[in-house]
């Protein structure tokens, strides 16, 4: 245990969460701040995982969390803001408040962290700052000068205009909060990301909120444990210790840590194991959450992704797919490439498909999948994956035979009945009646019998069809005789 005394209490760098709608410039802002380029590496220009970066401004450190703005990443955004000390809500000066802007704002409000509004893209020809500010107020985001006290800065993430002022405001809010950390404490914080590195093993990105972590200790996250022998900073450089607000990677977990879970540091492995045992009940509950009874109305899905945050986002999107007859059932999910074991799991489930996101497929898995006729689909954009599932649902939805009403006829006068054949005069009120049509005899809106059109006459001449508004003579074959005032509904059977 690290020795505790008041001398270890120091000012803590702020953790900043950048949030907002897709394509409003969050990643471009971080790109400018860090003088690197992450935007071009993102598929479709969309950030699809949570990342943490550390920068220095005016000789003070700031940790940034880059959270995806796409709707699919609601859960990831919520995780990020719960770790952050300050949030920045980025809004485009061209588009104003959008759907994900409001979702991000709700996460910020729920977390209770102070926040700054950054109106971005002020360099664009279509930028309208006044309109954007009004859209904020209309959505009850009250900024300075518009009925509220929330700082609002105008920036261009592309040119850098206003970015230094934004960084100054972040540090000012951090100073007001008097953020402190104790280097004498064992580190604690949250898991931001976890994934399987094929060469190094199970790796997690952590953000330290307090205390210090050193080599030779043990980190415990829920049901997962790792020694701190292999630690890296956010640039991938090996480190032997780290302290509050730093984002670090720890390599060598025994199992994949649950993203969003808190972590604690222990000097002794037994203490770490005891902590994990205490978490085991909740961990088991989490692992069993996908267990359901077999049901014919399911598409059984095995999902593999490169990182757990993306797996979270995929699960979030799948839950939004609604269909009364066919539901998506995730029977297995995990991190890493698609293996022979995944194919065997799919083979045991009727009609299962394997969906991969930014992963490879082992050659043995390909061969087994071909033999067992198991579909394997690989994606790198989440909405393409959900579109595939929605199309599969359409293909697998059982067709139902339903009666479709094509015409309605009112019986005016009965002329005669011979056995099961009835002759009467009628008028077409809707649609078109043809020789051979099937009809329902409706009396006071109740179906009292069925019949078939055997003969049609118009002006004493036989015809094959009559249309809306026509009066005509008709013979039907039915067990139940129609009566004046009855309605005949012409129907056909269709599959839907």
Average pLDDT of the chain, as a whole number: 86
| % of the chain with per-residue pLDDT over 90 | 52
Last residue of a domain, one of 226, 256, 287: 287
What's the pLDDT at 297? 67
User: Once rounded to an integer, what is the mean pLDDT over residues 89-94?
Assistant: 95
Question: Which helix (H) or strand (E) is 77 found in, with range?
Answer: helix 74-83
What's the pLDDT at 170? 95
In a domain, 334, yes or no: yes
Lowest mean pLDDT among 6-10, 219-223, 371-375, 427-431: 6-10
Last residue of a domain, one of 180, 195, 226: 180
Regarding whether 190 and 155 lie in a shared domain, the answer is no
In a domain, 377, yes or no: yes
DSSP assignment of 39-76: GGGSGGG---S-EEEEEEETTEEEEEEE---SGGGHHH
Whose tokens are 């269709």? That residue is 494
State which residues form the domain around 487.
401-495
Question: In this model, does residue 198 exceed pLDDT 70?
Answer: yes
Tens digits of residue pLDDT in 206-243: 999 999 999 999 999 888 999 999 999 888 889 999 99
Last residue of a domain, one of 377, 396, 415: 396
What's the pLDDT at 284? 52
Token pair of 166, please? Answer: 């934004």
Regarding whether 375 and 475 lie in a shared domain, the answer is no
User: Once rounded to an integer, what is the mean pLDDT over residues 299-308?
Assistant: 89
What's the pLDDT at 260? 75
Regarding whether 335 and 406 lie in a shared domain, the answer is no
Burial profile 412-447: b = 16 or more Cβ within 10 angstroms, e = fewer: eeeeeeeeeebbbbbebeeeebbeebebbbbeeeee
Tens digits of residue pLDDT in 115-136: 999 999 999 999 999 999 999 9
Q: Comparing 456 with 193, which gets the higher pLDDT?
A: 456
Q: If pLDDT is split at 50, 70 and 90, which confidence band does 77 have?
A: low
Question: In this model, does residue 295 exceed pLDDT 50?
Answer: no
375-383: long-range contacts (C-beta < 8 A, 24 or more apart)?
376/338, 376/343, 377/353, 379/355, 380/43, 381/43, 381/44, 381/46, 381/48, 382/48, 382/70, 382/72, 382/310, 382/313, 382/314, 382/317, 382/357, 383/72, 383/317
Regarding whether 215 and 153 lie in a shared domain, the answer is no
Regarding whether 114 and 262 lie in a shared domain, the answer is no
User: Once rounded to an integer, what is the mean pLDDT over residues 138-142?
Assistant: 93
Q: If pLDDT is split at 50, 70 and 90, which confidence band does 92 have?
A: very high
C-alpha 70/C-alpha 46 separation (Å) is 7
| % of the chain with per-residue pLDDT over 70 | 88
């Amino acid at each position: 245990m690290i020795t505790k005394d008041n001398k270890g209490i120091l000012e803590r760098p702020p953790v900043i969460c950048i949030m907002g709608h897709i394509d409003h410039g969050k990643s471009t802002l971080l790109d400018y701040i860090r003088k690197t380029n992450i935007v071009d590496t993102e598929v479709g220009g969309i950030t699809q995982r949570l990342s943490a970066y550390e920068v220095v401004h005016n000789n003070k450190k700031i940790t940034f969390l880059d959270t995806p703005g796409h709707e699919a990443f609601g859960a990831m955004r919520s995780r990020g803001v719960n770790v952050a000390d300050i949030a920045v809500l980025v809004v485009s000066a061209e588009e104003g408040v959008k759907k994900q802007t409001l979702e991000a704002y709700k996460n910020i409000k729920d977390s209770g962290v102070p926040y700054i509004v950054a109106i971005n893209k002020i360099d664009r020809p279509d930028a309208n700052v006044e309109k954007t500010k009004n859209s904020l107020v209309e959505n009850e985001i009250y900024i300075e000068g518009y009925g509220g006290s929330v700082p609002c800065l105008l920036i261009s993430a592309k040119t850098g205009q206003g970015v230094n002022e934004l960084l100054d405001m972040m540090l000012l809010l951090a100073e007001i909060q008097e953020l402190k950390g104790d280097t004498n404490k064992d580190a604690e914080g949250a898991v931001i990301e976890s994934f399987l590195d094929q060469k190094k093993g199970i790796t997690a990105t952590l953000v330290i909120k307090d205390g210090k972590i050193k080599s030779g200790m043990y980190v415990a996250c829920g049901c997962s444990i790792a020694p701190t022998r292999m630690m890296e900073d956010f640039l991938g450089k090996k480190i032997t210790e780290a302290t509050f607000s730093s984002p670090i990677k720890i390599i060598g977990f025994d199992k994949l840590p649950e993203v969003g879970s808190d972590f604690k540091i222990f000097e002794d492995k037994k203490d770490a194991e005891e902590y994990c045992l205490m978490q085991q009940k909740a961990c088991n509950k989490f692992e069993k959450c996908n267990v359901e009874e077999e049901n014919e109305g399911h598409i059984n899905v095995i999902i593999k992704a490169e990182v757990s945050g993306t797996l979270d986002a995929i699960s979030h999107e799948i839950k939004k797919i609604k269909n009364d007859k066919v539901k998506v059932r995730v029977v297995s999910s995990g991190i890493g490439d698609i293996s022979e074991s995944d194919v065997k799991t799919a083979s045991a489930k009727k009609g299962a498909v394997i969906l991969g996101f930014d992963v490879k497929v082992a050659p043995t898995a390909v061969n087994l999948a071909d033999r067992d006729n198991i579909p394997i689909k690989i994606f790198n954009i989440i909405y393409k994956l959900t579109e595939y599932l929605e199309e599969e649902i359409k293909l697998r939805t059982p067709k139902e035979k339903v009666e479709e009403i094509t015409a309605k006829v009112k019986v005016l006068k009965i002329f005669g009945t011979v056995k099961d054949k009835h002759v009467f005069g009628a008028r077409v009120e809707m649609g078109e009646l043809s020789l051979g049509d099937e009809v329902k005899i409706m009396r006071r809106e109740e179906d009292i019998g069925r019949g078939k059109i055997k003969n049609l006459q118009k002006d004493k001449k036989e015809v094959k069809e009559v249309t809306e508004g026509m009066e005509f003579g008709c013979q039907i074959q039915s067990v139940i005789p129609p009566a004046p005032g009855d309605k005949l509904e012409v129907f056909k059977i269709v599959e839907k």
